[in-house]
């Protein structure tokens, strides 16, 4: 078994990456440059040493290697399983570390192995050991030092004026829909539940679940956050609200002039960028739904429906492209929604078969859904009908508690941000 992750799931994931890379005929150096990552990071992904904490860099790699729609779906499925296996190993390592802390300094457990690294940030190559690399005596000394620092911190806190401490208990929780403002430079490590991991609201009865927004994770982990299913719902749904079919496919409408709009965002930063500028998907919006069972029992996904919550006149805003000078993308649109129809439906595209589908904890499914409009400003969401044994229900899917929103862009002024440029340039022809 190659790689430090050491699981069948991670090896299966790495094997498909290697197959795509080898078939592309591109070297690691060329691929790394196109993906804006280091060659060593790309090596670790392809040999199974590390599993990315986000799917976005994996998908970019697959698209550059000209993966088919079926391969993209299979790659996403394998990444989910590899990521889950890593989570189980991390929990087990934490339990081992806790047991080691309770071992007396003079006791030799035979477990002084420094352990294996886990890549935390796919872009920055930051690594974190699964187990402490120090022998237990040094680990015990470190723990004692941390305890002293914590005690000093508690004393410092107690000495702070009461007025300073009063607001500590009411500090706001960071969520994917909150942002301090339109930063000019997108952050390389946004907040814990940043946009591409926008979650689905879940309701076993079919009622709207918009009020149950997930809270943020202050740990700074970049992993997509999946909203926990409601009681009795044997599945979980994670939503990526802005999927870039190619690096240039996503356009946003923004009610601001170019001088007030920051540089374009990558796919993983798109939700935060859209929230900062009040942006709305322009013309079409592609989302990805990852559906996974939460137990051993198989869950049947019977049907996926679209609900139109409102229709209005198209927004008279400027159109901003998230990329420029790119080639065509891989056709990943598995399902299509024509929002301008009187009663729109979710229909299969590119030979994609219709529902039902089956999922379980070990066999998730990924669905790509593209909604488009040429005449309206539309707010919409989805509902997923499921059944398992003698139970059944409906899961409500939205954009982290808010409807998806897509507006027509006909005759709107268009702007591109040239590669290597420093400002938005008006698009010739609008």
Q: Are 321 and 428 in contact (CB under 8 A)?
A: no
Domain 8-106+113-129's class?
A: mainly alpha
Query: What band does 170 get if pLDDT is binned at 50, 70 and 90?
Result: very low
pLDDT tens digit sequence for 69-99: 788 888 888 888 888 887 777 776 666 666 5
Most confident of 24-33, 156-165, 300-309: 300-309
pLDDT at res. 158? 41
CA–CA separation, 232 vs 393, rounded Å?
9
Query: What is the mean predicted confidence (pLDDT) over 11-28?
Result: 90
pLDDT at res. 340? 94
| Averaged pLDDT of the chain | 72
pLDDT tens digit sequence for 141-166: 444 444 444 444 443 444 344 333 33
- Give SS3 for 41: helix
Query: What band does 302 get if pLDDT is binned at 50, 70 and 90?
Result: very high
pLDDT of residue 271 exceeding 90, the answer is: yes
pLDDT of residue 15 exceeding 70, the answer is: yes
Please give the residue that has the higher pLDDT: either 339 or 2: 339
pLDDT tens digit sequence for 312-341: 999 999 999 987 655 444 555 589 999 999
Query: What band does 133 get if pLDDT is binned at 50, 70 and 90?
Result: very low
Q: Are 170 and 214 in contact (CB under 8 A)?
A: no
Helix, strand, coil share of the chain (percent; to 5): 30, 25, 50
Over 265-308, what HEC string results?
CCHHHHHHHHHHHCCEEECEEEEEEEEEECCCCCEEEEEEEEEE
Q: What is the pTM of this model?
A: 0.54
pLDDT at res. 96? 63
CA–CA separation, 81 vs 285, rounded Å?
27
Chain length of the chain: 430
Per mean pLDDT, which range of 206-215, 326-335, 400-409 is the poorest?
206-215
pLDDT tens digit sequence for 413-427: 999 988 777 889 998
Query: What band does 1 get if pLDDT is binned at 50, 70 and 90?
Result: very low
Query: What band does 244 get if pLDDT is binned at 50, 70 and 90?
Result: confident
* Residue spans per domain, the chain: 8-106+113-129, 195-426
User: What does the DSSP assignment read for 116-166?
Assistant: -EEEEETTTTEEEESS-SS-HHHHHHHHHHHHHHHHHHHHHHHHS-HHHHT
CA–CA separation, 85 vs 151, rounded Å?
36
pLDDT of residue 175 exceeding 60, the answer is: no
pLDDT at res. 333? 53
CA–CA separation, 129 vs 302, rounded Å?
43
Share of the chain above pLDDT 70, in %: 62
Query: What is the mean predicted confidence (pLDDT) over 52-77?
Result: 85
Query: What is the mean predicted confidence (pLDDT) over 349-354?
Result: 84
């Amino acid at each position: 078994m190659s790689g430090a992750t050491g699981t069948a799931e991670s090896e299966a994931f790495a094997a498909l990456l290697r197959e795509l890379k080898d078939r592309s005929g591109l070297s690691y150096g060329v691929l790394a440059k196109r993906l804006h990552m280091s060659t060593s990071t790309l090596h670790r992904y392809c040999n199974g040493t590390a599993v990315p904490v986000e799917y976005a860099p994996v998908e970019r790699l697959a698209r550059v290697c000209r993966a088919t729609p079926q391969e993209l779906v299979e790659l996403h499925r394998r990444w989910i399983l590899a990521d889950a296996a890593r989570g189980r190993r991390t929990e087990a390592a934490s339990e081992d570390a806790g047991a080691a802390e309770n071992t007396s300094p003079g006791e030799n457990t035979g477990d002084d192995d420094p352990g294996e690294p886990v890549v935390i940030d796919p872009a920055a190559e930051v690594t974190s050991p699964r187990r402490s690399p120090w022998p237990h005596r040094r680990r015990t000394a470190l723990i004692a030092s941390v305890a002293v620092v914590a005690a000093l911190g508690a004393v410092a806190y107690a000495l702070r004026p009461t007025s300073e401490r009063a607001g500590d208990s009411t500090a706001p929780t960071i969520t994917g829909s909150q942002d301090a403002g339109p930063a000019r430079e997108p952050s390389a490590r946004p907040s814990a539940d940043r946009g591409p991991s926008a979650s689905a609201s879940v309701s076993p009865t079919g009622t709207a679940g918009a009020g149950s927004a997930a809270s943020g994770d202050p740990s700074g982990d970049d992993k997509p956050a999946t909203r926990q299913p409601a009681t009795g719902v044997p599945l979980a749904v994670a939503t990526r609200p802005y999927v870039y079919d190619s690096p240039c496919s996503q356009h946003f409408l923004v009610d601001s002039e170019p001088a007030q709009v920051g540089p374009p965002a990558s796919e993983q930063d798109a939700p935060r960028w859209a929230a900062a500028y009040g942006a709305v998907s322009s013309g079409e919006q592609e989302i990805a739904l990852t559906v996974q069972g939460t137990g051993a029992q198989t869950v049947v996904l019977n049907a996926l429906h679209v609900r139109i919550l409102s229709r209005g006149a198209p927004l008279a805003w400027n159109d901003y492209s998230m990329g420029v000078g790119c080639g065509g993308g891989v056709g990943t649109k598995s399902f299509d929604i024509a929002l301008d129809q009187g009663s729109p439906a979710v229909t299969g595209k590119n030979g994609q078969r219709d529902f039902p589908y089956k999922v379980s904890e070990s066999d998730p499914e990924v669905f790509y859904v593209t909604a488009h409009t040429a005449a309206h400003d539309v707010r919409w969401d989805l509902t997923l009908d499921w059944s398992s044994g003698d139970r059944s229900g409906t899961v409500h899917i939205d954009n982290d508690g808010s409807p998806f929103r897509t507006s027509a862009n006909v005759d709107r002024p268009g702007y591109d941000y040239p590669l290597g440029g420093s400002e938005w340039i008006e698009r010739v022809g609008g």
